[in-house]
Amino acid sequence: MDQRGEQRARLWLRGERAMGLTGVPKSRRRQAVAQLSADTQVKPVPVVAAARPVVKQAISKVNEPQLVLPVIDKPFDTEVLSTEEKRRRLKEMDEQEVRICQRCRLHHGRTQTVFGEGDVDARIFFIGEGPGETEDLTGRPFVGRAGQKLDGMIQGMGLQREQVFIANIVKCRPPGNRAPAPDETAVCTPFLIRQLEIVRPQVIVTLGLPATQFMLASKKSIGSMRGQWYMWRGIKLMPTYHPSYLLRNYTQETRAAVWSDLQQVMKELGLPMPVRKKEK
């Protein structure tokens, strides 16, 4: 027994004597001392009660969507579909899955989903990061200022918008036009992968950092990746700057970089090289 317990035992014995007792039996004394000693011991916190918050926290982490990086080295092994079957499957995915999707927080603030659009037999598939305000209102990809710049890039290649396919890695507008969060990308990109599998383009052009990093499962900067060919599931992929970045940094250097990237795509597809007028 510790010192504090002994002091309490002595006080109790003194109280007994004050009540007229001249002695206390040894057996009763030992019993009283043992009880006082037990009362003074610090009882440990129950293990179960302390562990509950930890278990709850662990469960919540397990339930959080995890970013699943795409398989980039295994070509699609499904059959190439007919034009009509491509249209049917894309329409079915849009109407029965994407428009009613509530898998992540982005659905709370959307006006409507932005599935993507273009030629189902397109040879070029452009991928951006997410819809902006104008896209959210219209339900169409790349129709704002960045979309007008993308249209100019496509026309510079000697093509029309209707001849390519355009989509994003997420189908709902992120608040404030921010980049999509990892969990948002994780639950939405399976739609994009299926779109690519259905359209089966010859070349993919990723526009900007989020789309490029996801498709190539890389953390490198867009500056270090753009202008180089990569393979994604048997399809050639060319990263380049996002049209909005081009608008913010409208310099001769950035314009030349994007045009060089697009020229490589044209060469790969055997498209005629248009004569570009020198800008004043």
> Which secondary structure element, helix H or strand E, spans residue 239, and what is its range?
strand 235-240
Q: What is the reported pTM?
A: 0.75
In the Cβ-directed half-sphere of 87, how many Cα atoms lie within 13 Å? 5
Least confident of 27-31, 104-108, 122-126: 27-31
Domains defined for the chain, CATH in brackets: 3-40 (no CATH), 74-269 (3.40.470.10)
> Which secondary structure element, helix H or strand E, spans residue 38, and what is its range?
helix 26-40
Encode pLDDT of 167-189 as tens digits: 999 999 999 989 999 999 999 99
Q: Are 117 and 93 in contact (CB under 8 A)?
A: no
Closest CA to 241 of 220, 252, 229, 227: 227
Q: Give the position of tokens 């180089």.
A: 228
Beta strands in the chain (DSSP E): 117-118, 124-128, 165-168, 203-207, 230-232, 235-240
Query: What value does the mean pLDDT take over residues 60-79?
Result: 68
Encode pLDDT of 17-27 as tens digits: 544 444 444 44
Percent above pLDDT 70 for the chain? 73
